[in-house]
């Protein structure tokens, strides 16, 4: 791996994520999200599409842990969409509760991505994560409308870059954009594209992109392994909780059998 990028020098990469959810397909990218905050030291982060807040929780946790002077904005209607499915207010309320501790530097903007354009000044965003509706036209619209918000240090992330089912079109946009800008595409966890659109990227971010492109397989393996462990933890905890919910039923069933044997 390139000498200028050494994951052992990172603090954020090894943080234990505080916000995870079984329904999110983002948990496998949390280690990279936290590392990127450390490398890039963004002055403003905007996320388009937050849902349960797994990616957003990673940005906020890293900003807080590293004591950065970063403003964070999560934009979502918190109503769902055609790909994520429609959901009720439980999701927003759960995130609000988790988010209280980040309120000094972060805001949940409950509105459409287009409505949020008026809230964020042009040339002010160092890190943008696009994870809304995944049709080609929708992602392209999000990219085009938010591009003027980016600074010359700007990095844009796209989730689901390797998904071709259900009409997902991020892969098509990714093919177009990755031909124009420095980039790296993680292929695990449905794909996460990292696009360095700024002409003046912070040196650590630029060095990461160089190192990743020099040894793409090693970089992909490292982050797939780190992310996979997080995903496995989420699944284990979910299974354990499900088993606990089911236990009283078994117990009741067992009691019934014992009582039948005893003739009650
Ligand atoms: C795939 S989910 C986001 C997942 C999230 N990043 C995570 O970490 O799990 C997509 C979200 O985008 C929101 N969304 C889609 N299109 C939107 C739009 N135009 N305006 C606001 N929210 C939108 C949906 O409500 C949904 O919660």
Q: Tell me the pLDDT tens digit for each residue of 175-185.
A: 999 999 999 99
Q: Name the average pLDDT for the chain.
A: 94
DSSP state of 25: S
Closest C-alpha residue for ligand 1 atom 26 = 80
Phi then psi for residue 184, to 5 deg, are -150, 140
**% of the chain at pLDDT higher than 90:** 89
User: Which residue's alpha carbon is at the smallest distance from atom 9 of ligand 1?
Assistant: 24
Closest ligand 1 atom, residue 91 Cα: 27
Q: How many residues does the chain have?
A: 264
Q: How far is the CA of 81 from the centre of ligand 1 (A)?
A: 7
CATH architecture of 9-230: 3-Layer(aba) Sandwich (3.40)
46 in Cβ contact with 146 (< 8 Å):
yes
192-249: pLDDT as tens digits: 999 999 999 999 999 999 999 999 999 999 999 999 999 999 999 999 999 988 766 6
Q: Residue 151 pLDDT more than 60? A: yes
Query: 113 CB less than 6 Å from ligand 1?
Result: yes
62 lines ligand 1 (CB under 6 A): no
Q: Where are the domains of the chain?
A: 9-230
Is pTM beyond 0.85? Reply is yes
How many Å separate Cα 67 from the centre of its chain? 20
Rounded Cα gap, residues 93 and 73, in angstroms: 17
Q: Would you place residue 146 in the very low, low, confident or very high pLDDT band (cuts 50, 70, 90)?
A: very high
For 194, what's the count of Cα atoms within 13 Å in the CB-facing half-sphere? 22
Residue among 19, 50, 159 to mutate when testing ligand 1 (max atoms within 8 A of CB): 50
In the three-class reduction of DSSP (H, G, I as helix; E, B as strand; rest coil), residue 2 is classed as coil
Q: Which atom of ligand 1 is nearest to the CA of 52?
A: 9
Residue from 235, 239, 223, 240 nearest 28 by CA:
223
């Amino acid at each position: 791996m390139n000498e200028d990028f050494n994951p052992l020098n990172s603090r954020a990469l090894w943080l234990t994520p505080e916000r995870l959810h079984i329904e999110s397909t983002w948990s496998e990218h949390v280690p990279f999200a936290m590392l990127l905050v450390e490398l890039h030291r963004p002055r403003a982060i905007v996320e388009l599409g937050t849902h349960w807040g797994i990616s957003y929780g990673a940005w906020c946790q890293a900003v807080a842990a590293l004591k950065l002077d970063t403003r964070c904005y999560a934009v979502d209607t918190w109503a769902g969409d055609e790909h994520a499915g429609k959901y009720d207010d439980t999701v927003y309320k759960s995130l609000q509760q988790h988010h209280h501790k980040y309120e000094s530097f972060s805001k949940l903007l409950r509105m459409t991505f287009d409505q949020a354009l008026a809230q964020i000044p042009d040339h002010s965003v160092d890190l943008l994560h696009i994870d809304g509706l995944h049709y080609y036209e929708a992602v392209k619209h999000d990219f085009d409308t938010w591009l003027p918000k980016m600074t010359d240090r700007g990095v844009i992330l796209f989730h689901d870059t390797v998904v071709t089912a259900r009409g997902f079109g991020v892969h098509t946009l990714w093919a177009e954009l990755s031909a124009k800008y420095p980039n790296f595409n993680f292929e695990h966890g449905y794909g996460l594209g990292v696009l360095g659109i700024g002409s003046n990227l912070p040196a650590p971010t630029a060095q990461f992109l160089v190192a990743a492109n020099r040894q793409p397989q090693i970089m992909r393996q490292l982050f797939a392994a780190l992310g996979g462990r997080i995903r496995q933890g989420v699944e284990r905890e979910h299974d354990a909780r499900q088993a606990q919910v089911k236990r009283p039923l078994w117990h009741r069933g067992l009691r019934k059998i014992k009582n039948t044997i005893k003739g009650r």
